[in-house]
């Protein structure tokens, strides 16, 4: 798939070819129709987060590998899904819930997956909406809103 990706922190995005995401289980893949830009995307582009007091959280230390497509404010049309996905149909246009935890840890069990240390969030940890396709793994919000 084509993706506008960060290939080096602080450098212009480049249009690159990345592997198409393969849905398994209850994963859903959407073809992006719209994607916002927010300051978190600039952190990804810059390479991390200034935590104050001289501390810096590097996105690579959160598991982000380059090249990476930013964009976590995603609307897309469902094009594929895993064999166990329910409540979706090909062609549905949905908003993607991006703050997706591991589903295994205490934070995720407490429905605080935005605080999970092993996130799988599109556009923050894995490829996001600046790519043509986005895989949305299972999450407490049920993948997707709207319908």
Q: By CB under 5 A, name the binding residues for Zn ion.
A: 38, 40, 101-102, 105, 108, 116
Q: What are phi and psi of 40, to 5 degrees?
A: -60, -35
Nearer residue to Zn ion within complex by CB, 5 or 88: 5
Nearer residue to Zn ion within complex by CB, 69 or 88: 69
| Share in percent of the chain as helix, strand, coil (round to 5) | 15, 35, 55
Angstrom distance (rounded) from CA 3 to CA 121: 17
Nearer residue to Zn ion within complex by CB, 8 or 38: 38
Residue 81: half-sphere exposure toward Cβ, Cα within 13 Å: 20
Q: Which residues pair with 131 in a beta bridge?
A: 3
Minimum separation from the CB atom of position 72 to Zn ion (A): 6
Minimum separation from the CB atom of position 17 to Zn ion (A): 26
Nearer residue to Zn ion within complex by CB, 53 or 106: 106
Minimum separation from the CB atom of position 41 to Zn ion (A): 7
Put residue 61 in one of left, alpha, beta given phi > 0 → left and psi -120 to 50 → alpha: alpha
Minimum separation from the CB atom of position 138 to Zn ion (A): 12
Would you state the torsion angle of the CA atoms of residues 24, 28, 34, 36, taken in this order, to the nearest 10 degrees? -80
């Amino acid at each position: 798939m084509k993706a506008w990706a960060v290939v080096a922190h602080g450098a212009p995005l480049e249009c690159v070819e990345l592997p198409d995401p393969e849905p398994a289980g209850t994963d859903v893949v959407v073809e992006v129709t719209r994607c916002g830009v927010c300051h978190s995307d600039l952190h990804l582009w810059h390479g991390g987060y200034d935590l104050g007091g001289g501390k810096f959280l590097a996105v690579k230390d959160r598991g982000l590998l380059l090249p990476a497509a930013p964009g976590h404010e995603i609307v897309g049309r469902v094009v594929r899904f895993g064999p166990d996905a329910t409540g979706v149909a090909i062609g549905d246009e949905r908003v993607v819930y991006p703050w997706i935890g591991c589903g295994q840890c205490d934070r995720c069990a407490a429905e605080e997956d935005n605080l999970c240390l092993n996130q799988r969030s599109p556009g923050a940890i894995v490829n996001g909406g600046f790519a043509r396709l986005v895989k949305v793994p299972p999450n407490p919000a049920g993948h997707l809103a709207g319908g």
